[in-house]
Amino acid sequence: MNRGRFIGVGVGPGDSELLTVKTVRYLKEADVIICPEKKEGSGSFALDIAKEYIDMDKVAYMTFPMHYDVDELKKKWSSNADEIQDLVSNGKMVVFITLGDPTVFSTYMYLLDYLRETDLSIETVPGITSFCNMASSMNIPIAEWEEGFSVVPLRKSVDEKLINALDNFENVVIMKPSNDGKALAKVLKEKGLENNFVLVTKSGTDKEVRIKDIRYLEEEKIPYLSTIIVKKNGKL
């Protein structure tokens, strides 16, 4: 019988104690642990987080480029999926590690689009999201009572979706604010929300930084691993 299987696990936002018990078990049981990196040799932050549970002999890096040429990306994902399929077909238990939670804006899901078409055994294990960790570390709710919340990525710049979220939700999580801090600062000011946000960088690590000053968004280069929470009730 082929014990080969493919498992995607979320390693959370940055603290190695925020992995789940199940993820730790799968990392111990795995034959191969795939660590995504942006380009060859660039390293994997997911691996940095999980490394104390990982036998480095099992690690295989896999490149997932970060750019906007969809054809190029698809070719790469497809060949990555083929590699995984080969390993699993050969009886390997393959664990793919991903930052945060695998269901929230993760590269892992693009890979699944290819693997779902095979007959491989696939399992996904959730992880702690950056926004839950941010709110926890400040002892504040993401949402309470009859409030709702929305999560929107800032892809290139401020768009209608973000405006709508700010207009209609008491709580808005903005992912990847690094893509256009200036435009974001402008819209927060226009909506009178310049004192209703917090930006957190490297949540869950010992380099975590919290910023509530709108001038930072206007003037500084926001680091890549940053998230913003906007709370209209101002409890930040």
Give me 209's structure tokens: 């930084």
CB of 15 to a second copy, least distance (A): 7
Q: Is 88 in the site for a second copy (CB under 8 A)?
A: no
CB of 219 to a second copy, least distance (A): 27
Q: Which stretch binds a second copy (CB under 8 A): 34-42, 143-151, 206-214, 220-228?
A: 143-151
Q: Is 215 in the site for a second copy (CB under 8 A)?
A: no
Among candidates 202, 194, 200, 189, which has minimal Cα distance to 231?
A: 194
Q: Is 1 in the site for a second copy (CB under 8 A)?
A: no
Between residues 16 and 63, which has the closer beta carbon with respect to a second copy? 16
CB of 91 to a second copy, least distance (A): 21
CB of 188 to a second copy, least distance (A): 17
Q: 33 has which bridge partners?
A: 59, 95
**Candidate residues 4, 5, 14, 18; the one interacting with a second copy per rule CB under 8 A:** 18
Residue with tokens 């690590």: 205
- Give the up-direction half-sphere exposure of residue 21: CA atoms within 13 A in the CB hemisphere: 0
**Candidate residues 101, 158, 197, 227; the one interacting with a second copy per rule CB under 8 A:** 101
Q: How far apart are CA 122 and CA 28, in angstroms?
A: 18
CB of 183 to a second copy, least distance (A): 16
CB of 102 to a second copy, least distance (A): 6
Residue 170 near residue 143, CB atoms below 8 Å:
yes
Q: Is 132 in the site for a second copy (CB under 8 A)?
A: yes
**Candidate residues 59, 142, 187, 211; the one interacting with a second copy per rule CB under 8 A:** 142
Give me 182's structure tokens: 């200036």
Q: How far apart are CA 215 and CA 234, in angstroms?
A: 18
CA R_g for the chain: 19
Q: At what angle do helices 160-168 and 181-190 cross, to 10 degrees?
A: 40
Give me 8's structure tokens: 């995607």
Between residues 159 and 219, which has the closer beta carbon with respect to a second copy? 159
Q: Is 97 in the site for a second copy (CB under 8 A)?
A: no
Q: What is the dihedral of CA 82, 27, 73, 45, to 10 degrees?
A: -150
Among candidates 75, 81, 48, which has minimal Cα distance to 62?
A: 81
Q: Is 48 in the site for a second copy (CB under 8 A)?
A: no
Q: Is 135 in the site for a second copy (CB under 8 A)?
A: yes
- Interacting residues with a second copy (CB under 8 A): 10, 12, 15-22, 24-25, 101-106, 109-110, 112, 116, 122-129, 132-133, 135-137, 139-153, 155, 161, 164-165, 168-169
